[in-house]
A and B are shown apart, each in its own frame.
Chain A
Amino acid sequence: MRRALLRWTGLMALVVVSAVGASGCSSAGAGGAGGTKVTVLAAASLTEPFNAIKDEFTKQHPALTVEVSYGSSSALASQITNGAEADVFASADQANMAKVTGGDLVAGAVEVFARNTMAIVVPTGNPRGIRELKDLTGAGLRISLGAPPVPVGKAAREGFAKAGLRVPAATEEPDVKAVVSRVALGEADAGIAWVTDVRATKQGVELVEIPAGHNVVSDYPIVRLAAGKNGHGATALIEFIRSKSGQDILRRYGFQTI
């Protein structure tokens, strides 16, 4: 009996090991139903404005419902190239949009609907007195950056290059929210993030602006996808996002509008 139990525990453990081993990936919210539902894949940095846009849009179009799945733009792009059934893709940069526009995956033109700029994120009260990019090279500072392939990590390195600086990172985070949370939790003394992500963080951080000369602007493109079942709804949503009401919402969350 005990032996059996032991063996069973071993098996259970084996299952858990293999299940937990590769966590961290999310799947697309692919909805099959056509007609009334518009399925959107959107960059994680769009979470707050797109939730507001969703509410406002469905108020104006009561016959439609909108379902948004948020994730890093690169993860969403690979979901699309692997056949995710969605109507609209909103990316945080052109590089990830370019991954889906090559073939016959998109229906319609790619349009830029917002812009984001970089900022230095520091703990509330700015205890290390950081005023500009150059201050990040100070001895003993722990800096949180995005990993080089992540848009915010790539942009930060471009900014450093423009300013002629070498800033060593303490950690290379997989997405911009993680960059900010390192600072919010006090593990990092500063980081480089998009303005909107710093503003969206409720506690523990504030932003230090980066002058235009050293800043990097990221264009946010949007496109209708060919695999979607609700082309009409998708077009209406994209039009709404580019209209004054949509742009007002985006501006409220710190985006620069078109």
Chain B
Amino acid sequence: MILGAVAALLFVLPLIGLVIRVPWPDLGTYLADPRVLDALWLSLVCSLGATVVCLVFGIPLAWLQVRVSFPGRGLLRAITTLPVVLPPVVGGVALLLVFGRKGFVGEPLYNLTGISLPFTTAGTILAEAFVAMPFLILTIGGALQSMDTRLEDAARTLSASRWTVFWRVTLPTIRPSLIAGTVLCWARALGEFGATITFAGNFPGRTQTLPLAVYVALETDTAAAITLSMVMLAISLGVLIGLRRHWFGVQ
């Protein structure tokens, strides 16, 4: 019990450390700063954009990895989980080497279309999706694996098309995991720092999301950095508390 309490302190104390240093009287002034609002708005746009990308591409990938048997499936699973353990900065460098202006995808893309992802909002979304998608795939993959496939078989015997089965049977069955995976993916995208600053750079209003703004603010204005951190904490904590029933079975 004491060990458990020590572990709890490890999480609670830093939180208290932040809260007591928040300049409450000036909170309004800090939050109304256009740079803060820009970063907050950009964070929401990018994290939601990344979540949409993850849903559109991640659900099919999770389905593929669980339901379709093909050579190298285990390896592909490992690779798509890699961003969870990889230092995000390394992920950002890897993205640069592929999608950067000198990258083997980025260079032909730039020469043909003049489009270059680094230093753009699209680049920020890509970096966030790269880091966040595994959380969605893991959650949905687990649910797909453990669901009762006889439901899908039954639907098929009633001559439902593959798409109808997926849309009307599979997705509703894994709904709780789908919601949890989506929120987890979004939260990870919202907090993304390393891959974003490495791949997309840091420019206010274009690629400077809240975590990047916190990092830059630390250079000059600790109070501003703490205030920004509180905004992120409030958002994240709100989402996690909202999800607690799913993880801990609290009624």
* A positions within 8 Å CB-CB of B: 2-3, 5-7, 9-11, 13-14, 16-18, 20-25, 72, 74-75, 78, 142, 144, 147, 149-150, 169-174, 182, 185-187
Q: Which residue of B lies closest to A151 (CB)?
A: B219
Q: Are A172's CB and B247's CB within 8 A?
A: no
Q: Are A10's CB and B216's CB within 8 A?
A: no
Distance from B52 Cβ to chain A, minimum over Cβ atoms (Å): 19
Q: Are B119's CB and A21's CB within 8 A?
A: no
5 smallest CB-CB distances across A and B, nearest first, come from: A171-B201, A21-B191, A186-B102, A149-B220, A2-B146
Q: Which residues of A contact B119 (CB under 8 A)?
A: 142, 170-171, 187
Contact of A147 among B11, B202, B211 (CB under 8 A): B202
Do A5 and B142 form a contact, CB below 8 Å, given A21-B191, A149-B220?
Answer: yes
Q: Are A174's CB and B101's CB within 8 A?
A: no
Number of interface residues of B (CB under 8 A): 49
Q: Are A185's CB and B180's CB within 8 A?
A: no
Q: Are B100's CB and A172's CB within 8 A?
A: no
Q: Which residues of B contact A150 (CB under 8 A)?
A: 219
Interface string of B180-224 (1 = CB under 8 A from A): 100010011001011001000111100110010011101111100
Docked CA distance A75–B142 (Å): 42
- Contact sample, A vs B, 16 pairs, CB 8 Å cutoff: A3-B146, A6-B139, A6-B143, A6-B177, A9-B139, A10-B139, A23-B89, A24-B197, A75-B219, A171-B201, A173-B201, A174-B215, A185-B96, A186-B100, A187-B96, A187-B100
Q: Which residue of A lies closest to B131 (CB)?
A: A20
Interface residue? B88 (CB, 8 A): yes
Distance from B118 Cβ to chain A, minimum over Cβ atoms (Å): 5
Interface residue? B84 (CB, 8 A): yes
Q: Are A14's CB and B240's CB within 8 A?
A: yes
Docked CA distance A243–B240 (Å): 58
Distance from B79 Cβ to chain A, minimum over Cβ atoms (Å): 17
Distance from B209 Cβ to chain A, minimum over Cβ atoms (Å): 12
Q: Are B211's CB and A22's CB within 8 A?
A: yes
Q: Which residue of B lies closest to A187 (CB)?
A: B118
Distance from A87 Cβ to chain B, minimum over Cβ atoms (Å): 24
Q: Are A17's CB and B135's CB within 8 A?
A: yes
Docked CA distance A175–B208 (Å): 15
Distance from A46 Cβ to chain B, minimum over Cβ atoms (Å): 18
Contact of A172 among B88, B194, B216, B240 (CB under 8 A): B216
Q: Are A13's CB and B194's CB within 8 A?
A: no
Do A21 and B193 form a contact, CB below 8 Å, given A13-B139, A147-B216?
Answer: yes
Docked CA distance A204–B98 (Å): 18
Q: Are A23's CB and B139's CB within 8 A?
A: no
Q: Which residues of B contact A20 (CB under 8 A)?
A: 88, 188, 191, 193-194
Interface residue? B138 (CB, 8 A): yes
Docked CA distance A20–B89 (Å): 11
Docked CA distance A90–B84 (Å): 37
Docked CA distance A254–B25 (Å): 47
* B positions within 8 Å CB-CB of A: 11, 84-85, 87-89, 96, 100-102, 118-119, 135, 138-139, 142-143, 145-146, 177, 180, 184, 187-188, 191, 193-194, 197, 201-204, 207-208, 211, 214-216, 218-222, 229, 232, 236, 240, 246-247
Q: Which residue of B lies closest to A147 (CB)?
A: B216
Distance from A177 Cβ to chain B, minimum over Cβ atoms (Å): 12
Q: Are B219's CB and A174's CB within 8 A?
A: yes
Q: Which residues of A contact B208 (CB under 8 A)?
A: 172
Q: Are B219's CB and A171's CB within 8 A?
A: no
Q: Which residues of B contact A174 (CB under 8 A)?
A: 197, 202, 215-216, 219
Q: Are A22's CB and B191's CB within 8 A?
A: yes
Q: Which residues of B contact A173 (CB under 8 A)?
A: 201-202
Do A17 and B187 form a contact, CB below 8 Å, given A5-B142, A169-B203?
Answer: yes
Docked CA distance A170–B201 (Å): 8
Q: Which residue of A lies closest to B199 (CB)?
A: A187
Do A9 and B219 form a contact, CB below 8 Å, given A169-B203, A171-B207?
Answer: no
Q: Which residues of B contact A5 (CB under 8 A)?
A: 142
Q: Are B102's CB and A75's CB within 8 A?
A: no
Q: Are B216's CB and A149's CB within 8 A?
A: yes
Distance from B133 Cβ to chain A, minimum over Cβ atoms (Å): 12
Q: Which residue of A lies closest to B147 (CB)?
A: A2
Q: Which residues of B contact A11 (CB under 8 A)?
A: 247
Distance from B28 Cβ to chain A, minimum over Cβ atoms (Å): 23
Q: Are A23's CB and B88's CB within 8 A?
A: yes
Distance from A26 Cβ to chain B, minimum over Cβ atoms (Å): 12
Docked CA distance A3–B139 (Å): 11
Q: Which residues of B contact A16 (CB under 8 A)?
A: 84-85
